[in-house]
Structure 1
Amino acid sequence: MRVISGQYGGRRLQAVPSDQTRPTADKVKESMFNMLGPYFDGGRALDLYAGTGALGIEAVSRGMDHATLVDRQFQAIKTIHANLEITKEVDKFTVIKAPVAKALAQLSANEDQFDLIMLDPPYAKQEALAQLADFLALHLLTPTGRVMIETGLDVDYPETIPGYTILRHQTYGVAQVLILERTDLDG
């Protein structure tokens, strides 16, 4: 597992030493970011169910100014901190050890907003559609913010998702990736 492109491109990342995380394969990660841009001109990213921190690190490597990484498992948090050290720019990252719902409430209370929210939940515990609604209700997305979700194939996405425009929907083996952009609900 490595950082695919950008400022930290090619640097190797550690895996979480347990079977409780499922890192995104490098080829899938590369495709996901290519669908997004593939580079950013600043902004803030939120990596939920961060695991190794690979998606947040990739986002900063490709031009995001800052990434907040959220995971609830001790081993994942320990691995994230080790992987952030390879960037030599730890100040570009915030790590939160908490369940996602608690972290979202905390971020909302701080009035944090993100240009990109990425989530790769455990396939057995997917709440992606409910969380999409939470992002809007908690005002976590900037007006042009995007969301990138990786889920198992068993999640059946509707053709329209309130508050969002579906930009891409791609399948990779046992995973599917959905990229959405916030839609102005007032207009």
Structure 2
Amino acid sequence: MRVVAGERKGMPLKAIDGTTTRPTTDKVKESLFNIIGPFFDGGIALDLFAGSGGLGIEALSRGAEKAIFVEKDGRAFQVLQENIKKCRYEGVTELFRTDAVRAVKGLLKREITLDYVFVDPPYHKQAYYDLVTQLVENDKVAKTGIIVCEHAKEVALPENYGAFQLTRQETYGAAIISIYRCIEEEGENVG
């Protein structure tokens, strides 16, 4: 695993041993970021089931100004901390070792607008995708924001989360990446 592009391009990232997490492969990560925008001009990223932090770190490397990482698993959280330190992103990150439900409740109480939301829960925990609804309904995702959900082929996600409509799906082996963008009243795709 490595950072694919941007200011930390080529930086190797530590992966988590075992089967408790499923890191997004470099190939999938590169393809995903080519779809949503190869480089960013600031903004805040939320990596909601962060694992080793590959998606949030990639967003920072490509120009996001801040990233919030949420990871419950102790071993994964330790690897996440090591990867953040290795990439020298301590000053632009917030790390929370907690359950995603509790983390989202905390975010709903904050004055914050997210520009990039990465949701990659354990594949058998479909209810976690409802957290996206909570973020959208509480105006925590910028109208120009992008929501990215990684899920198993058997999981059917909704066509939209509020004004955020499914605009693209890509299949990578057993995984599907679903990308949501805000569709304005005129029906135009923003971003």
* TM tier relative to shorter chain: over 0.9
In the other structure, the counterpart of 1:54 is 54
2:70 maps to a residue whose letter is: V
Deviations 1:98-156 (A, max 9, x none): 11111011011122220010011111112354222111123220122110111010112
SS at match of 2:134: helix
Q: Judging changes above 3 Å, is the alpha-carbon distance between structure 1 residues 120 and 5 closer, same or farther for their aligned structure 2 residues?
A: same
For residues 76-95 of structure 1, the aligned pairs below 5 Å read 76-95=76-95
For residues 1-187 of structure 1, the aligned pairs below 5 Å read 1-127=1-127, 129-184=129-184
- Normalised by the length of structure 1, the TM-score is 0.93
Aligned partners of 2:94 and 2:161: how far apart in 1?
29
2:95 maps to a residue whose letter is: V
Q: Judging changes above 3 Å, is the alpha-carbon distance between structure 1 residues 59 and 99 closer, same or farther for their aligned structure 2 residues?
A: same
The unaligned stretches of length 5 or more in structure 2 are none
1:184 positional shift = 4.9
Aligned partners of 1:157 and 1:110: how far apart in 2?
27
Q: Is the CA contact 1:105–1:138 (under 8 Å) kept in the aligned structure 2?
A: no
Deviates more, 1:36-45 or 1:81-90: 81-90
- Normalised by the length of structure 2, the TM-score is 0.91
Aligned partners of 2:17 and 2:157: how far apart in 1?
32
Q: CA RMSD of the aligned region, Å? A: 1.8
Aligned partners of 1:62 and 1:77: how far apart in 2?
22
Deviates more, 1:150-159 or 1:22-31: 150-159
1:154 maps to a residue whose letter is: E
Q: Judging changes above 3 Å, is the alpha-carbon distance between structure 1 residues 122 and 69 closer, same or farther for their aligned structure 2 residues?
A: same
SS at match of 1:157: coil
Percent identity (aligned): 36
